[in-house]
Amino acid sequence: MKYVTTIDGKEFEIEVVDDRHIRVGDRLVAVDFESVSGQPVYSLIFDGKSYESFVYQGEEDWEVLLRGRQFQVKVEDEREKRLRAAAGGGVAEGGEFHLKAPMPGLVVSLLVEEGQPVKKGQVLLILESMKMQNELKAPRDGMMGRIRVKAGESVEQKQALLSLH
């Protein structure tokens, strides 16, 4: 199977030849790849070098934590890549933004009202979790849409808090 893998705009062509070999660009290389203890921890011996890494599936991309660095990695097989190229590759920019609770906690206060215009970086809501007051901010300029929570309310992780048009 051939993949096109992208990190920070840089593309790597990687072909999984069999269990023990991959082709990176033109180079055929022996790999020894194992997951450890059934965890998302992976040991890779590549060209004699021993690497260990956490690999998680993020919202869209893969997250690779390697030697203290985190990499956002997009992995697409050839078919996906072609489809995306055909669609023009443009991801909608102006659509509605839904703020979800990044962790369970208590809504301490709401600093905006429905229909109010907000600026990028403006604090929308304060969520208390682990004894810390966490400020949740607007990712871009926009207009406040529906607000689904009240101050004093406990929320679950990923619960929808409010929308931004």
Positions that interact with another protein (CB under 8 A): 1, 3, 5, 7-8, 10, 12, 14, 16, 22, 24, 31-46, 48-55, 57, 62, 64-71, 73, 75, 77, 102-105, 108, 128-134, 157
| Nearer of residues 62 and 97 to another protein, judged by Cβ | 62
Cβ of residue 88: shortest distance to another protein, in angstroms? Answer: 24
| Nearer of residues 41 and 112 to another protein, judged by Cβ | 41
Beta-strand pair 117-118/105-110: unpaired
| Nearer of residues 111 and 146 to another protein, judged by Cβ | 111
Cβ of residue 102: shortest distance to another protein, in angstroms? Answer: 5
Cβ of residue 99: shortest distance to another protein, in angstroms? Answer: 13
CB contact at 8 A, 125 and 99: yes
| Nearer of residues 49 and 88 to another protein, judged by Cβ | 49
Residue 60: strand, helix, or coil? coil
For residues 95 and 72, give the distance between their C-alpha atoms in angstroms, rounded to a whole number.
23
Cβ of residue 58: shortest distance to another protein, in angstroms? Answer: 10
Residues 6+ apart with CB under 8 A from 78: 2, 3, 4
Phi, psi of 81 (to 5 degrees): -60, -45
| Nearer of residues 59 and 93 to another protein, judged by Cβ | 59
Nearest to 119 by CA among 142, 99, 96: 142
For tokens 């893998």, the residue is 5
